[in-house]
Structure 1
Amino acid sequence: MTLVPTFSTPPGFLGLPLRQDAPGIAVAGIPLDLGTTNRAGARDGPAAIRRASRMLVDGAHPTTRVDFRSRDVADVGDFSLALGDLAGSLALVEQQAAAHGHLVALGGEHGITLPLLRALAKRVGGPLALVHFDAHLDTWPESFGQRFSHGQPFFHAIEEGLVDPRRMIQLGIRSPTDPEVMDWTLAHGVTVISAIEAHEAGPAAVAARIAEVVGPAPAYLSFDIDALDPAFAPGTGTPEAGGLASWQVQAMLRRIGGVDFRGMDVVEVAPAHDVAEITALAAATIAWEYLCRAPG
């Protein structure tokens, strides 16, 4: 149990001390938002998520009974970036991610997922399965003439062979979408579950579908906070109505059994647009759920 009042929790994620060595799971902030296409501000996401995580330090997970402090996990601080240089920053993220094994990344914009997948695919020696929560497909070949904004990470991940699209599932999709982009995504074998379909099916059925698609392959979890409805996550750059509720996401994550996750990120928290920290707390809770998954 914590020995200090909740409001005095140390500033690391879940109150963890900042340290550079992380032989187990490394938590890292990646304060990049140069590739955002609407409201900026996700560069402040890591600090906000760490601050909100103080609500989660008082004990074990209520369902799995796992205490995150029983895991070998450390907060390694924020990755270095190339100021004003998107391509240079993505290269630096990949380089720093390669220095860690199991990484939990706090974004930052969704573009950071591409270099994280590049580093992890090299580590595991092949393409990864992918569980992707989002309002948007993020498989556009370009956005507004740019090839590496936050709308392209999974287009490049598929094209570069970083993920196996037949073991890739996207959940919560509901934004306006170019039909050609949707057709390209589906033609590559990606499973897409819209927010409406997830609402209608329920968390248990969706979790079962996730496990079915991913199978036994090494997997990665990428969670864009705008997968949640703006009622639960207003503090993001591209909010879309009709999204998932916080409880639905928790229920799904708690029911995904047997998936061999090797890393994850939670991205697109823009605290300048948040209300009472609810977006940052949702993001912190998603990462906490991941760290407190039941053994095995």
Structure 2
Amino acid sequence: MTLVPTFATPPGFLGLPLRDAGAIAIAGVPLDLGTTNRAGTRDGPAAIRRASRMLVDGSHPTTRVDPRALPLADVGDFTLALGDLQASLALIEQQAAQHEHLVALGGEHGISLPLLRALAKRVGGPLALVHFDAHLDTWPESFGQRFSHGQPFFHALEEGVVDPRRMIQIGIRSPVEPEIMDWTRSRGVTVLSALDVHDTSPAAVAAKVREVVGDAPAYLSFDIDALDPAFAPGTGTPEVGGLASWQMQAVLRRIGGLDFRGMDVVEVAPAYDVSEITALAAATVAWEYLCRAG
């Protein structure tokens, strides 16, 4: 690979050239039709790709994996239906089905539902889910709408594409109606609040993830607002009291070996970012995942 200054890294994720397919596909999903507060996540994929130039100077410091040596392809951005949320979700599912292992750069969190649908069909059954977020995203509706970035895991659980006994949510701390929390827990979902994470250690959190997921085929969904706004201000629904970026890294580095089949990192809204720190955090989530996958 030709060595260039960091600032001159090509615009694909980790400087990858755009091409149609790879064993692990990186795809942008620039959707923000279902956001309920600040819009702007349509610009997330481009910002994450640009920030990823900071991660091309060598291998991972602990796993010694250089993800650029993996069979990666940046396949560009998925096609969406302008102004039509339901049609966009259908298009996302169709395009995701074309890739065996997909790393999706969001976009709002609503993209997780079609990505999970496509992957569950591919593996032939429900998935385990490791979900980092400030919000449960298990509301049956938001402001009278059944599909937004607050519903993906309600539908995923109702449709059986996620096994609730194999689902763990990490970093939860937003205001929530008690019946929504009760419904989520009653299905068998494990919920770790941000305070739970702060009161224990990354090693303990990772051990709980391993206990819940077991050997099931798994999916990682990382909403960047799982991080405290001090570390990720560039998002549409920031919530104080979140995880620090080092906690995120420490947990992700301890869950290698799980049978992950895909992931997304979502809700980066660069118009509200400061010095690219949110976009860099999101790029680092994907990089840590790829280094673990290697």
Pair in the same fold by TM > 0.5: yes
What secondary structure sits across from 2:169 in the alignment? strand
What secondary structure sits across from 2:292 in the alignment? coil
Q: Which runs of 4+ in 1 moved over 4 A?
A: none
User: Partners in 1 of 2:104 and 2:293 — Cα distance?
Assistant: 20
The letter of the residue matching 2:62 is T
User: Partners in 1 of 2:264 and 2:48 — Cα distance?
Assistant: 12
User: Unaligned stretches of 5+ in structure 1?
Assistant: none
Does the aligned pair in 2 maintain the 1:2–1:57 contact within 8 Å? no
Alignment match, 1:42? 41
Alignment match, 1:97? 96
Alignment match, 2:135? 136
Alignment match, 1:276? 275
What secondary structure sits across from 1:265 in the alignment? strand
What secondary structure sits across from 1:292 in the alignment? helix
What secondary structure sits across from 2:204 in the alignment? helix
The letter of the residue matching 2:27 is A
The letter of the residue matching 1:105 is A
- Identity %, equivalent residues: 83
User: Partners in 2 of 1:97 and 1:17 — Cα distance?
Assistant: 19
Does the aligned pair in 2 maintain the 1:2–1:58 contact within 8 Å? no
Alignment match, 2:186? 187
In the TM superposition, residue 2 of structure 1 has moved relative to its aligned partner by 5.7
The letter of the residue matching 1:284 is A
Alignment match, 1:13? 13
1:79 matched to 2:78:
yes
Does the aligned pair in 2 maintain the 1:66–1:294 contact within 8 Å? no
User: Partners in 2 of 1:40 and 1:65 — Cα distance?
Assistant: 37
What secondary structure sits across from 1:50 in the alignment? helix
Q: What is the number of equivalent residue pairs in this alignment? A: 294
Cα shift readout 1:241-285 (whole Å, capped 9, x = no counterpart): 000000000000001132100000000000000000000000000
What secondary structure sits across from 2:75 in the alignment? strand
What secondary structure sits across from 1:142 in the alignment? coil
User: Unaligned stretches of 5+ in structure 2?
Assistant: none
1:154 matched to 2:150:
no
User: Partners in 2 of 1:25 and 1:234 — Cα distance?
Assistant: 29
Tell me the TM-score normalised to structure 1 length: 0.98
Does the aligned pair in 2 maintain the 1:64–1:294 contact within 8 Å? no
Does the aligned pair in 2 maintain the 1:266–1:283 contact within 8 Å? yes
Q: Over the residues paired in the alignment, what is the CA RMSD in angstroms? A: 0.8
What secondary structure sits across from 2:253 in the alignment? helix
Tell me the TM-score normalised to structure 2 length: 0.99
Does the aligned pair in 1 maintain the 2:14–2:68 contact within 8 Å? no
1:57 matched to 2:35:
no
User: Partners in 2 of 1:121 and 1:294 — Cα distance?
Assistant: 19
Does the aligned pair in 2 maintain the 1:129–1:163 contact within 8 Å? yes
What secondary structure sits across from 1:250 in the alignment? helix
Cα shift readout 1:178-197 (whole Å, capped 9, x = no counterpart): 10000000000000000000
User: Partners in 2 of 1:119 and 1:80 — Cα distance?
Assistant: 16
Alignment match, 2:65? 66
In the TM superposition, residue 37 of structure 1 has moved relative to its aligned partner by 0.1
What secondary structure sits across from 1:290 in the alignment? helix
Alignment match, 1:3? 3
User: Partners in 2 of 1:2 and 1:242 — Cα distance?
Assistant: 42
Does the aligned pair in 1 maintain the 2:42–2:269 contact within 8 Å? yes
The letter of the residue matching 1:10 is P
User: Partners in 2 of 1:159 and 1:288 — Cα distance?
Assistant: 31
In the TM superposition, residue 70 of structure 1 has moved relative to its aligned partner by 1.8
The letter of the residue matching 1:269 is V
Cα shift readout 1:23-68 (whole Å, capped 9, x = no counterpart): x100000000000000000000000000000000010000100011
Does the aligned pair in 2 maintain the 1:211–1:258 contact within 8 Å? no
Does the aligned pair in 2 maintain the 1:41–1:237 contact within 8 Å? yes
